Amino acid sequence: MIDGEEAMSGEGGRNGRSWTGRRVFVTGATGIVGSWLVRRLLDEGAVVVALVYDWDPQTELIRSGDIERTHVVNGGLEDFGAVERAVNLHETDTVFHLGAQTLVGTANRNPLPTFEANIRGTYHLLEVCRMHRDLVKSVVVASSDKAYGDAEVLPYLEDMPLHGKHPYDVSKSCADLLAGTYAHTYDLPITVARCGNIYGGGDLNWSRIVPGTIRSVLEGKAPVLRSDGTFTRDYVYVLDVVDAYLELAERAEDDGVRGEAFNFSAGDPVSVLEITLAIQRLMGREDLEPVILNRARGEIKDQHLDSTKARERLGWSGGYTLDVGLRETIEWYKQFLREAVVPG
């Protein structure tokens, strides 16, 4: 929902199992979700191993100093040796696979690197977990609503086919299916999270609507929409996603969770124009008229997830309304842009 001030603590359905001393491997650790997930794990006493491909000092993991509390393995998901070293050398018992090339436009312009990172990278990671199943007791694979592709009937349900058509969507469909293969063929404790559009502080992909709009408004410029503004999405706050991932990891070996995929969303899809106007309202700049380019290509028009399964089996429910999540996000970017020299 857009309106409303109430927000829960963000604890969702967490069952309180301790992370103290658990050895956790996080791919995609410098991304928006990875950065906040690593912080939560460190704060709860876990030993965290982070796979880092490019060193970008502006990412939240690095600029916050949290990376100094982790064990860093340098390399990409395409490097099987780096992934195997992270699990074997550091004796990892829990794996969060968040690493991916996540930009639709980037994938459309040059699909091969996206396929390499998202597909090859996923089967590398899962094969390492199979090889070291004596160590690995829990695996969470971050999928996406994009894995479903276009659907005539919404919302998406977990038992719907995965029918990605465009490069990024196909890469997520494949990664999702690979996770199912390793869960069911090799009986590995794997779960899959399919989330809507994730927003929050730490997203430095300025082509995305939330960070791009916030930066434009802070600069006194009109927000720019690539689409016609009518595309609808579920938007889910990053801290709600962190809770969802932790819940899955804690319960990966439970009946009804092991080998299953779960949708996570706020359950209230809004259009691109609506979320743009919501950001402007919260920032007090409704005078800026959005520029609508209507140039979006290779993107699914409407997406909406049903999270009933996550509520019933995991006790998870998003703790943040859109207004509250956006307010926290806006404050993060205000501080970040005051402190950083940001490349365009």
pLDDT of residue 202: 96
Residues 236 and 198 sit within 8 Å (Cβ to Cβ): yes
Question: Confidence band (pLDDT; 50, 70, 90) for 11?
Answer: very low
Domain contains 109: yes
**60: domain CATH number?**
3.40.50.720
Domain contains 79: yes
* Residue 295 CB contacts under 8 Å (≥ 6 apart), including other chains: 226, 227
pTM to 2 decimals? Answer: 0.92
132's tokens: 């070291």
Domain contains 213: no
Quick check: bond before 155 cis, omega within 30? Answer: yes
Q: What is the pLDDT of residues 144-153, one digit of tens each?
A: 999 999 988 8
Question: For residues 130 and 242, what is the distance between their CA atoms, to the nearest angstrom?
Answer: 25
- Give catalytic residues, as residue numbers: 168
37's tokens: 């997930």
Domain contains 184: yes
What is the domain range of residue 68?
23-196+237-265+306-319
Residues 50 and 61 sit within 8 Å (Cβ to Cβ): yes
Q: What is the pLDDT of residues 198-210, one digit of tens each?
A: 999 999 999 999 9
Domain contains 74: yes
Domain contains 270: no
| Residue 200 Rama label (left phi>0; alpha psi -120 to 50; beta) | left
Q: What is the pLDDT of residues 242-279, one digit of tens each?
A: 999 999 999 999 999 999 999 999 888 999 999 999 99
Q: What is the pLDDT of residues 157-198, one digit of tens each?
A: 999 999 999 999 999 999 999 999 999 999 999 999 999 999
Domain contains 342: no
**In Å, what is the CA distance from 19 to each residue of 92, 247, 335?**
13, 11, 30
Domain contains 135: yes
Question: For residues 102 and 319, what is the distance between their CA atoms, to the nearest angstrom?
Answer: 25
Q: What is the pLDDT of residues 215-241, one digit of tens each?
A: 999 999 999 998 899 999 999 999 999
* Residue 68 CB contacts under 8 Å (≥ 6 apart), including other chains: none
Among residues 55, 163, 33, the alpha carbon closest in space to that of 102 is found at 33
pLDDT above 80 for 4: no
Q: What is the pLDDT of residues 22-81, one digit of tens each?
A: 999 999 999 999 999 999 999 999 999 999 998 999 999 999 999 999 999 999 999 999
Q: What is the pLDDT of residues 89-123, one digit of tens each?
A: 999 999 999 999 998 889 999 999 999 999 999 99
pLDDT above 90 for 296: no
Residues 248 and 140 sit within 8 Å (Cβ to Cβ): yes
**In Å, what is the CA distance from 240 to each residue of 6, 40, 105, 175, 230?**
14, 12, 26, 23, 25
CB atoms within 10 A of CB 105: 14
pLDDT of residue 10: 38
Domain count, the chain: 1
pLDDT of residue 263: 98
